[in-house]
């Protein structure tokens, strides 16, 4: 089904695939709107629009157009089954501070699966997941100065928020109470009432929450950096990694494999802990000094107090204190994996006996997001990816859950 089949003519209120609605849609999609603050992407569409509504002057027509929602199509969850299906929907109009991005690729994060399945609480459906998004700017609002039409842009886990508040400057946007996360988050401006993510052909975001994707990295390689990259980069920076520092990385999936590569690039000695034995050769190839296959939790005992710091990306409940104990006293341990119900199990005595600074970190701020993209592009730190089509998403999700992903699935948005 195409988007046009479900179109509603805003003048007549009638649903139907009329020549007029098709023309209007083309016009809207091209975002060639006079007087609305949007930059023109192509003058010829103006004539299509005036032809479509001859009874209106161009200016009146344009004024109406500026309030038009953005038409999108993508893949959505409709229930907790974990099965996604095609869906056409509407996003908000491109506001004065917004950018419209034509999505080229969106990658699959384990968080998408957890949230759509309701593992983190009840969800509103239909809901489009996806918070690793790259594409080309197709329209910008009149107040936008950081982007112009045609720029390469990326969007991660946040799409809107206070952006100028001191809380954001001091602590990062992800810790601001006003921040709107990329999907399933209440958002008044969204026609569906919630933010809708990147498994789709376009997205409208506040320009503060888009980053530049430099020319020296392919779109498909950049996508996973928007969540997996920054979520590991942010805490790794705080470890102050340098040659000789022993850093543990637990859970070598989408996040973990990037954590290994990033830590190696800083010269650290990386100890990678995985439960999947057949990843060992890959992980060595990423530059890890040692790969520990944790087929039994008691194996961690051999590493007691050995590491300076550790990042744990496991997206499942696990015995935290056993992993923490691999870090030496007063070292730092950071949790970034988000399990079902956000629950992990901590033995208080074991945790206190290791006297490690335990913390958890939520993604990274917008500056760090831009930094990790630039850093990875410049240092050729690229995720291991498999590009898939939209119809392969459900299969890919199963592979992620079954630990078969190697290591990030990237959806070609042309197939939505
Ligand atoms: Zn994610
Ligand atoms: Zn704020």
Residue closest to 130 by CA, chosen among 104, 152, 153, 156: 156
CA of 344 to the centre of ligand 2 (A): 28
DSSP-assigned beta bridge partners for residue 319: 345
Structure-token pair, residue 67: 């309030």
Q: What Rg, from alpha-carbon coordinates, does the chain have?
A: 23
My answer on whether 122 and 80 are in the same domain is yes
- Ion ligand 1, residue ranges at CB < 5 A: 109, 111, 227
My answer on whether 283 and 301 are in the same domain is yes
Question: Which range marks the domain in which residue 393 is found?
Answer: 3-226+384-415
CA of 109 to the centre of ligand 1 (A): 5
CATH code of residue 192: 3.90.180.10
* Position 367 in a domain: no
My answer on whether 351 and 319 are in the same domain is yes
My answer on whether 64 and 190 are in the same domain is yes
How far apart CA 33 and CA 94 sit, in angstroms, is 11
- pLDDT at residue 164, rounded to an integer: 65
My answer on whether 265 and 212 are in the same domain is no
CA of 234 to the centre of ligand 1 (A): 14
User: CB under 8 Å, gap of 24 or more: what pairs does 291-297 form?
Assistant: 294/250, 297/322
Ranges of the chain whose pLDDT falls below 70: 1-66, 163-165
How far apart CA 336 and CA 232 sit, in angstroms, is 7
Domain end call among 360, 375, 396: 360
- pLDDT at residue 168, rounded to an integer: 76
Q: For the chain, how many structural domains are there in total?
A: 2
CATH code of residue 278: 3.40.50.720
How far apart CA 199 and CA 108 sit, in angstroms, is 9
- pLDDT at residue 163, rounded to an integer: 66
pLDDT in tens, 76-118: 999 999 999 999 999 999 999 999 999 999 999 999 999 999 9
Structure-token pair, residue 397: 């999700």
DSSP-assigned beta bridge partners for residue 312: 250, 335
How far apart CA 223 and CA 230 sit, in angstroms, is 11
Q: How far is CA 79 from the centre of its chain?
A: 21
Determine the Cα angle at 64 with ends 61 and 68, to 5°. Answer: 125
- Ion ligand 2, residue ranges at CB < 5 A: 162, 165, 167-168, 176
* Position 131 in a domain: yes
- pLDDT at residue 165, rounded to an integer: 67
My answer on whether 219 and 234 are in the same domain is no
* Position 372 in a domain: no
My answer on whether 315 and 403 are in the same domain is no
- pLDDT at residue 67, rounded to an integer: 72
């Amino acid at each position: 089904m195409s988007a046009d089949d479900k179109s509603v003519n805003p003048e007549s209120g009638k649903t139907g695939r009329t020549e007029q609605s098709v023309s209007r849609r083309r016009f809207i999609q091209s975002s060639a709107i006079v007087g609305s603050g949007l930059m023109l992407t192509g003058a010829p569409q103006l004539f299509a629009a005036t032809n479509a509504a001859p009874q209106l002057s161009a200016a009146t027509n344009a004024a109406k157009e500026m309030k038009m929602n953005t038409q999108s199509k993508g893949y959505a969850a409709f229930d907790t089954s974990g099965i996604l299906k095609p869906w056409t929907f509407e996003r908000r109009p491109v506001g004065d501070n917004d950018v419209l991005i034509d999505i080229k690729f969106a990658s699959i994060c384990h968080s998408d699966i957890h949230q759509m399945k309701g593992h983190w609480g009840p969800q509103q459906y239909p809901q489009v997941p996806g918070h690793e998004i790259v594409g080309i700017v197709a329209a910008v609002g009149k107040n936008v100065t950081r982007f112009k039409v045609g720029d390469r842009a990326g969007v991660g886990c946040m799409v809107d928020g206070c952006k100028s508040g001191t809380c954001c400057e001091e602590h990062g946007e992800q810790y601001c109470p006003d921040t709107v996360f990329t999907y399933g988050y209440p958002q008044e401006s969204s026609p569906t009432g919630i933010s809708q993510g990147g498994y789709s052909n376009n997205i409208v975001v506040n320009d503060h929450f888009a980053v530049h994707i430099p020319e020296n990295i392919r779109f498909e390689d950049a996508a996973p950096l928007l969540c997996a990259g920054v979520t590991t980069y942010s805490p790794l920076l705080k470890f102050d990694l340098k040659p000789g520092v022993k850093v543990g990385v637990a859970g070598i999936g989408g996040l973990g494999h990037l954590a290994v590569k990033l830590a190696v690039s800083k010269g650290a000695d990386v100890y990678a802990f995985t439960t999947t034995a057949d990843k060992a050769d890959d992980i060595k190839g990423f530059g890890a000094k040692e790969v520990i296959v944790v087929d039994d939790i008691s194996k961690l005992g051999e590493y007691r107090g050995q590491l300076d710091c550790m990042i744990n990306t496991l997206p499942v409940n696990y015995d935290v204190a056993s992993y923490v104990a691999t870090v030496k006293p007063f070292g730092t341990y950071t949790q970034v994996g988000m399990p079902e119900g956000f629950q992990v199990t901590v033995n208080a005595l074991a945790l206190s006996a290791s006297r490690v600074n335990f913390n958890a970190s939520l993604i990274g701020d917008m500056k760090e997001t831009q930094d990790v993209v630039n850093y990875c592009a410049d240092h050729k730190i690229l995720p291991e990816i498999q590009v898939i089509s939209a119809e392969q998403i459900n299969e890919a999700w199963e592979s992620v859950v079954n630990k078969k992903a190697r290591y990030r699935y990237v959806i070609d948005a042309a197939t939505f």
